[in-house]
Amino acid sequence: MPFAIVLLGLAIELSPAHVLYTGPLLTAMPALASLTMGPKGTLSVAAGALGVSLITTTLHQAWGGQQIYSNLLGLLVVSVASVTTSNAVRTRRQSELDQVRRVAVAAQQVLLRPVPARLGPVRVASLYLAAESEAEIGGDLYEVVQTRYGVRMIVGDVRGKGLPAVRLAAAVLGAFREAVHYEDDLVEVMNHCAAALRRECAVPDAADQPEGEDRAEDFVTALVAEVPEEAAVRVVNRGHPPPLVLRQGKVHALMPGSPLPPLGLEDFITGPPVKAESYPFLPGDRLLLHTDGVIEARDPHNDFFPLPQAMEAVHDCAPPEFLARLHQALVRHAQGRLADDAAMLLVDRLREETQVRN
């Protein structure tokens, strides 16, 4: 806008309407620019305003009038003050942003702790991509824990974004981290997560809740899996995208036999009691748990990200490189613009000779 007003002043001075005196208008432009621009932008606007003043004064042969020199002096004073103010504001904002980032990193380390590279009979790697600019954490969650029942893990996706989503993710993760160590049934682990979500949703928080949003509609898609010593993986899926198994270069989805609603929507559960489902998970197999932000990423043609094909293309890579290449392919597909948070948890079933050697 400041640049547009400077150009407007030039147009007025070069037109028959030049009898209108634009000096005071141009003098105010550096101050206006300092509200939204940095020092360089403010200096550019000031230079433009000075240029217009000098050009029009010369064209109209107005040198010698006291008003002209007063206007130039006022423009100089306002420009210096605006650049100084803009630099101070920019420094303060950068300091505040750095502090927010440090808090976000600390929160991420508590909420989404780094997963160990090796747990029992599996190797593990994880990847998290927040959709919001400058964000470190969001509504996706994951965790891997070694227990007496085997290696247990969770991947989930909270409805919504921002701080309310982080709050619900923390509640679900806290319940999971506690229940996995003493509940032998995966269904009971999931029930603890559901109960924690209900308790958190029942706590009113006007500061976190967007105006007009109903907390009763909060829900979390979640998947809990267990890798025991035997060559299998047990899964309880509550409305979450099915995990993918990469076996001998081919990808297979572990589709649930009886689809269940997400956490928070227990009223829609009907039929027989919920049971964990078991699938083969052989030595050398690779299991990928992910959130819908991965498979729903779209390219400019509105096509979804082909995750199974991307996995097959990099099937022979080590876990960290495997996820790094999937990350590159995902960002390339979405043209660097993710519409939703994306999380991936990779679990490799070690071959027997590798387990013995380690």
Q: Which amino acid is it at 225?
A: A
For 297-325, letters b (16+ CB in 10 Å) and e give beeeeeeebebeebbeebeeeebeebbee
- Structure pTM? 0.70
Are 183 and 43 part of one and the same domain? no
> What is d(CA 120, CA 105) in angstroms, rounded to the nearest whole number?
28
12 and 129, same domain (yes or no): no
- Say whether both 347 and 265 belong to one domain: yes
pLDDT in tens, 296-347: 989 888 899 999 999 999 988 888 899 999 999 999 998 878 777 888 999 9
**Spatial contact of 326 and 344, defined as CB atoms under 8 Å apart:** yes
pLDDT tens-digit readout, 103-123: 666 666 667 788 889 998 999
Are 139 and 93 found together in one domain? no
Check which CATH number belongs to the domain holding 328 and give it: 3.60.40.10
Query: Per the domain annotation, does 41 fall within a domain?
Result: yes
Pair 170, 248 in one domain: yes
**How many Å apart are CA 268 and CA 265, to the nearest integer?**
6
Q: Which pLDDT tens digit goes with each residue over 272-286? A: 888 999 999 999 999
> In sequence order, what DSSP letters do the residues of 50-104 get, joined into one string?
HHHHHHHHHHTT-TT-HHHHHHHHHHHHHHHHHHHHHHHHHHHHHHHHHHHHHHH
Number of structural domains in the chain: 2
Q: Are residues 89 and 121 in the same domain?
A: no
219 and 353 in a common domain: yes
107, part of any domain: no
Question: 259 lies in a domain?
Answer: yes
Buried b or exposed e, range 83-109, using 16+ CB within 10 angstroms:
bebbeeeeeeeeeeeeeeeeebeeebe
Q: What is the pLDDT at residue 6?
A: 66
* Domain identity same for 85 and 208: no
Residue of 10 and 143 predicted with greater confidence: 143
The closest of 240, 321, 319, 331 to 287, measured between CA atoms, is 319
Instruction: Report the chain's terminal Cα–Cα distance, integer Å.
Output: 65
Between residues 137 and 83, which one has the greater pLDDT?
A: 83
The answer to whether 332 and 313 have CB atoms below 8 angstroms apart is no
Among 84, 102, 120, where does a domain finish? 102
8, 49 Cβ separation under 8 angstroms: no
Query: Between residues 286 and 43, which one has the greater pLDDT?
Result: 286
Does the residue 25 lie in any domain?
yes
Pick from 102, 137, 168: which residue ends a domain?
102
pLDDT digits (tens, 9 = 90+) for 161-185: 667 888 888 899 999 999 999 999 9
Question: What SS3 class is residue 146?
Answer: strand
- Indicate whether 135 and 281 sit together in one domain: yes
* 182-235: pLDDT as tens digits: 999 999 999 999 999 999 888 765 444 544 444 446 789 999 999 999 999 999
Containing domain of residue 188, as a range? 112-357
Indicate whether 94 and 125 sit together in one domain: no
Q: Are 97 and 118 within one domain?
A: no
Tokens encoding 134: 């400058």
Domain finish residue from 102, 130, 155: 102
Per DSSP, what are the bridge partners of residue 127? Answer: 344
3-state helix, strand and coil shares in percent for the chain, rounded to the nearest 5: 45, 20, 35
pLDDT at position 279: 96
Residue 351 predicted with pLDDT over 90: no
Count of CB atoms within 10 A of residue 113's CB? 14
The DSSP annotation for 257-311 comes to SS--PPBT-GGG--SSPP--EEEE--TT-EEEEE-HHHHT-B-TT-PBP-HHHHH
- Tell whether 89 and 124 lie within a shared domain: no
- The CA-CA-CA angle for residues 227, 229, 235, to 5°, reads 25
pLDDT digits (tens, 9 = 90+) for 61-95: 555 555 565 666 666 777 777 777 776 777 777 77
| pLDDT of res. 356 | 47
